[in-house]
Amino acid sequence: MNTENDQTPYAIPQMANSINPAQADLQFHFQHLGGLTTVLSDLLGLGLVVEIATAWSSLLQYDLLTRMQNGGQFTAAEADANDSRVGLIAIAALLLFLVTIVTFAIWISKSHKNLYALKVPNLTFTPGWAVGWYFIPILNLIRPYQSMKELWHASHHGPNWVKTAPASLVGAWWALWLLNSVYGHISTQINEDVLIDAAPTMEELIFATQVEMATIIFTAPLHMFAFVLVRRINRAQQAFDFDALNASPGY
């Protein structure tokens, strides 16, 4: 991206020049994203339900494992049912995660395109890089937050967005995103170690289950904050003051 060659990686990039401002209205047309936002909101809501189901399933597994460890009563059928339930929920969670990520990426790109279609001045992220930064190691710790903050402010304040105060909702969402990513990596590593072990101990199985149960501490609020975030941004774009934008000097 040639607009950022002269900057340090962590600095906020200068105004994106890869799109000709004078032709922005020709390249991008404003799209009402109510339908896409509803789909994404529904996916996030369903994701919250799946996370609750995962925590509930882990709690049942924890009960089964502790009974096994303490010599309590259990049946082979109960153990088989537990394995089937855990596996099915894991598959459902993975498929839903992939669909949600793709939908979220499309929503981010289209929402940024709307800003260019509306000729909001002083934008620093192109629609493509607003998504692309999520996949660049190290830089994905800060750039996605910066682009989402820009999307939030530009959607809510139009030409005057640069002078606005930080958005606490965006900061909270990004903090939860990072915490969830770190904890998710730890949880996945622990569970993989248990699965690779040909004969894991009961203590290892119980610990891995406890770690999985605790995941909801981060995933549940992340889904809720993301739900509110996308809906508020979409609502702000739908309520844009087009007259004020047309009267502004633009780029």
Tens digit of pLDDT for each residue in 19-72? 444 434 447 888 899 999 999 999 999 999 999 999 999 999 999 999 999 988
CA distance 193 to 149: 38
**Burial class, 105, CB count within 10 angstroms (exposed 0-12 / middle 13-18 / buried 19+):** middle
Give the burial string for 8-40 (b: 16+ CB within 10 Å, else e): eeeeebeebeebeeeebeeebebeebeebbebb
Buried b (16+ CB within 10 A) or exposed e, 54-84: bbebbeebbebbeeeeeeeeeeeeeeeebee
Tens of pLDDT along 203-242? Answer: 999 999 999 999 999 999 999 999 999 999 999 998 875 5
Q: What is the CA radius of gyration of the chain?
A: 22
Instruction: Give per-residue pLDDT as tens, 77-119.
Output: 999 999 999 999 999 999 999 999 999 999 999 999 999 988 8
- The 3-class SS string of 99-130 reads HHHHHHHHHHHHHHHHHHHCCCCCCCCCHHHH
Closest CA to 109 of 157, 147, 143: 147
| Total length of the chain | 251
Region 118-126: mean pLDDT is 89
- Give pLDDT, residue 29: 84
Pair 13, 4: CB distance under 8 Å: yes
Average pLDDT over residues 178-182: 96
Read off the pTM.
Answer: 0.83
